[in-house]
Amino acid sequence: MRGIRKRSAGLTLIELLIAIAILAVLAVLASTLLGTSLENQKHLRISSANLEELGLSLTLVRRDLEQTLNRKGRDLYGERQSAPIQSFAEGEQFLLEFTRDGRRQLPGETLSSSLERVRYALEDGELIRYSAAVPDPINATRWRKQRLADDIVDASFGFLSGEKWERQWPPEQVSATGDSLALPLAVSLRLETRRWGVIELIALLPGVKDEAG
């Protein structure tokens, strides 16, 4: 019929608007997925770096403990301590103190001794390592402070004596009698972290004889 016009082969305005709307939705979805992917990658990098830092910190703690000397340090008054390793009660400034061998020489430093006094502490959610370049520090001794790990809720050490784990060293019964005691067989470090939960490290201690030092 001559009165009927053929439909145009192009898109109508409504069809064009629908196509644009679909493309806009797809663009939003793609942008959201890309943003989520980038954010996940960022969190993954942060978590990986945090885990690597924690692993290096635990390696350092293990190395310290494995190089512990069976040597009773001196207090600020020059008196020998009762045990080579000294733990501290909850609420005190430090967690653990001992003497280790194998100290590395820092740049510009003249290494007079390989012995080093080490302290561990928990400060504001961070595990801190203090080290002094002498085995028997005094008030004027300079301590090097090193942050090992953060996001720490709690940190505690345990000590293996025979077949029993003690919560402090020297153990309470030895401290009460004033007896002298050597190194424990092993030392454990228990860390409660916000990111990784509870992590525990156990290090065997060397069996060496007392040194007069």
What is the arithmetic mean of pLDDT over 72-95? 84
Place 96 in a pLDDT band, splitting at 50, 70 and 90. Answer: very high
DSSP labels, 25-39? HHHHHHHHHHHHHHH
Q: How many helices (H) and strands (E) does the chain have?
A: 2, 9
Q: Say which residue, 119 or 208, is predicted with more confidence.
A: 119
Please give the residue that has the higher pLDDT: either 210 or 10. 10
State residue 207's pLDDT score. Answer: 62
Q: What pLDDT is recorded for position 147?
A: 94
> What was the pLDDT predicted at 8?
54
Q: Is 183 exposed, middle or buried (0-12, 13-18, 19+ CB in 10 A)?
A: buried
Tokens at residue 58, please? 């635990």
DSSP class of 84: S
Q: What are phi and psi of 33, to 5 degrees?
A: -65, -40
Q: How much is the average pLDDT of 204-211? A: 63
- pLDDT at residue 191, as a whole number: 95
Ranges of each domain in the chain: 61-204
Confidence grade of residue 114 (pLDDT, cut at 50, 70, 90) = confident
Q: How far, CA to CA in Å, does 61 sit from each of 26, 67, 78, 136?
A: 52, 10, 27, 20
> What is d(CA 99, CA 118) in angstroms, rounded to the nearest whole number?
6
Angstrom distance (rounded) from CA 179 to CA 103: 30
Q: Is the predicted pLDDT of residue 111 greater than 70, yes or no?
A: no
Give the least confident one: 21-30, 40-49, 190-199.
40-49
Q: Where does residue 151 fall: left (phi above 0), alpha (psi -120 to 50 degrees), or beta otherwise? A: left
Length of the chain: 213
pLDDT-derived band at 60 (thresholds 50, 70, 90) equals: very high
Tokens coding 43: 């969190």
**pLDDT tens by residue, 143-195:** 999 999 998 999 999 999 888 999 999 887 764 444 446 789 999 999 999 88
pLDDT for residue 2 is more than 60: no
Q: Which residues contact 77 (CB under 8 A, 6 or more apart)?
A: none
E strands, 30-151, in order:
86-87, 96-100, 116-123, 126-132, 144-149
Among residues 187, 78, 57, 212, which one has the least CA distance to residue 138? 78
Of 11-15, 23-27, 120-124, the poorest mean pLDDT is in 11-15
